[in-house]
Amino acid sequence: MGLSYDDVRNLPLPDLGLRLLRSFGNDPNFNNLVQGFTQRGGFNEPRPPDLAAMLDRLSDAWAWLEARALIGHSSKNPQGGWYRVTSAGLELLNDPNAVSKVWADERLAGDLHPALAAARSNFALGDYETASFAAMKAVEVEVRRIARLSNELLGVALMRKAFNPKDGILCDPGAEGGEQQATADLFAGAIGAYKNPASHRTVRFDDAVEAAEVIQLADLLLRIAQRAESRLRQP
């Protein structure tokens, strides 16, 4: 298997899962995995006292791989507990850089603001440049809608107008002055850096993790704008 006891005990679950994936043959089988791990060592060598806990960790790692479609049931023997390494799993094994996509998917595993549907779709297709642009464009569209500002205001200027500490309609009146300015700077900086990626080469568009983080940032900004909208609706 190539996994030591300490590996199974101590590796973070994603790392353990990927190490397990690299150890598989053509037809991985969980029962065989358990038996092989249980029977390792010499004839008279005592079993580790935490063997049951280590087997649970192997089970967790197996479930982690299956949940991410890196392994799946084998069509050759679906009733026998046999699995196969999926096309996504093979891609990861054949391209060391593909592992970054796994970490990026982890970042986007939860719920996102509905306005980010297009960004998420483009991300899934591997078009990180369009995904990053679409995420920040969604922020711009939502801020303009909530603040009811004209279409002539774009990008940084729109954010500065909407969140201006003096008279910005989306400024939080209950926040301290420095916090109000910081929020305006946050929105303006994010839009200025990421909305026009062809001009602002901050994002490395071959880096799935960084693209995912741009989408996460957009999600945070959209939630802040959503809270501002809720304040405006209060009597």
Residue 136 has pLDDT above 70, yes or no: yes
Q: Which domain holds residue 66?
A: 5-94
Q: What is the mean pLDDT of residues 99-113?
A: 84
Q: What percent of the chain has pLDDT over 70?
A: 92
Q: What residue type is assigned to position 57 of the chain? A: R
For residue 117, the model assigns a pLDDT of: 95
The model's pLDDT over 110-125, given as tens digits with 9 standing for 90+, comes to 889 999 999 999 998 8
Same domain, 118 and 228: yes
Beta pairing, strands 83-85 & 71-73: antiparallel
Query: What's the pLDDT band for 53 if we cut at 50, 70, 90?
Result: very high
For residue 141, the model assigns a pLDDT of: 95
Quote the tokens at residue 53: 């806990």
Q: What is the mean pLDDT of residues 196-224?
A: 79
- Do the domain assignments include residue 102? no
94: buried, middle or exposed (CB in 10 Å: 19+, 13-18, 0-12)? exposed
Same domain, 132 and 24: no
Same domain, 180 and 70: no
CA separation, residue 42 to residues 34, 51, 53, 168 (Å): 17, 15, 21, 73
Q: What residue type is assigned to position 35 of the chain? A: Q
What φ, ψ does residue 42 adopt, rounded to 5°?
Answer: -75, 170
CATH number at residue 67: 1.10.10.10
Same domain, 76 and 19: yes
Quote the tokens at residue 16: 């353990």
Range with lowest mean pLDDT among 38-47, 85-94, 166-175: 38-47
DSSP string over 97-129: GGHHHHHHHHHT-S---GGGHHHHHHHHTT-HH
Q: What is the mean pLDDT of residues 82-89?
A: 88
Give the CA-trace dihedral at 31, 65, 58, 18, to 10 degrees. Answer: 120
- Do the domain assignments include residue 51? yes
Same domain, 73 and 179: no
Same domain, 157 and 118: yes
Residue 198 has pLDDT above 60, yes or no: no
Residue 179 has pLDDT above 90, yes or no: yes
Q: What is the mean pLDDT of residues 133-160?
A: 93
Same domain, 89 and 120: no
Same domain, 148 and 67: no
Answer yes or no: are the C-beta atoms of 107 and 212 closer than 8 Å: yes
**3-state percent breakdown (helix, strand, coil) of the chain, nearest 5:** 60, 5, 35
Query: What's the pLDDT band for 103 if we cut at 50, 70, 90?
Result: confident
Same domain, 168 and 76: no
Sign of the alpha-carbon dihedral angle for 108, 30, 20, 48: positive
Query: What's the pLDDT band for 43 if we cut at 50, 70, 90?
Result: low
Query: What's the pLDDT band for 79 if we cut at 50, 70, 90?
Result: low
Q: How far apart, in whole angstroms, are the C-alpha atoms of residue 87 and residue 68?
A: 12
Same domain, 76 and 128: no
Nearest to residue 223, comparing CAs of 105, 103, 126, 110? 110
Mean pLDDT of the chain: 87
Query: What's the pLDDT band for 41 if we cut at 50, 70, 90?
Result: low
Q: Which of 40, 59, 94 is the last residue of a domain?
A: 94
Residue 203 has pLDDT above 70, yes or no: no
Q: What is the mean pLDDT of residues 57-76?
A: 90
Same domain, 123 and 216: yes
For residue 197, the model assigns a pLDDT of: 56
